[in-house]
Amino acid sequence: MKKVSVIICVYNEEKTIRNVIVSVSKTLIVNEIIVVNDGSTDNTKRIIEELNEDIEMTDIHFAENKGKGYAMAVGVENAANEIIAFIDADQTKIILNYIDKMINPLLKKECDMVLGYSTVNILSKDVNPLKILTGERALFKEDITPIIDKMKESRFGVETLLYFYYISIGKTLQFLPLLGLKHKDKYKKVSITNATVDYLQEGWEIAYTAMKNYDFMLKSFKRIIKKT
């Protein structure tokens, strides 16, 4: 059995981080937990340090916010295992064995990266039009080591970077619906104005990352066209 490291990157999630870490610690397939606190200004750091007294983990705390991509990259650099699962820190409803479900396709060599996405119900159908941006994913550490530096520069565009990079080098992806998994809406975290500004900033970071890594995008589109 290959060993699994879970990386949880967190920024101001004092209301959810405790349950997320505890749930991961109870997952038997996981034998390393790395929590990267990306400069939180609420009680997130205190909660992590309290949990670290009873739950074995590596906790890394930044003095200031450096962006999701940087936090993920530092987590990877500190991970000791072959398989890595990234887990969002804002889960409000956690389903049983969802990490196992993401890891199993890798163990069975069905794909190179699993993207486990939550859904919303629209017209009686569970959908997620932005599933390539999901924060829950599992992959092999060796596959992303070559782009660690690019991840550090990508901020919220890191998921876009990973998607186009994997497609561009011919890696296979598997999208896995995690029915029942829920995340906290940004509009419930902060004011409407701040949430809107945050979403616009994140959208810019995604677009900027895509443009900055145009070569990955071009190679990806060529591969997609060739398959069709």
Domains of the chain: 4-227 (3.90.550.10)
Buried b (16+ CB within 10 A) or exposed e, 48-75: beebeeebebbbbebeebbbbbbbbbbb
Q: Average pLDDT across each block of 10 residues of the chain; the chain has 228 residues. List them in order.
A: 91 96 96 97 97 97 97 98 97 93 96 88 59 91 97 94 94 93 76 79 82 82 75
Cβ–Cβ < 8 Å for 95, 180: yes
Report pTM: 0.90
The predicted pLDDT at position 191 comes to 76
The predicted pLDDT at position 160 comes to 93
The predicted pLDDT at position 120 comes to 62
Q: Which two tokens stand for residue 65?
A: 């916010």
| Distance separating alpha carbons of residues 59 and 16, to the nearest angstrom | 16
| Distance separating alpha carbons of residues 30 and 70, to the nearest angstrom | 23
The predicted pLDDT at position 178 comes to 92
The predicted pLDDT at position 32 comes to 97
Cβ–Cβ < 8 Å for 58, 35: yes
DSSP 8-state class, residue 63: S
The predicted pLDDT at position 222 comes to 79
To 10 degrees, the CA torsion angle through 36, 38, 39, 45?
A: -30
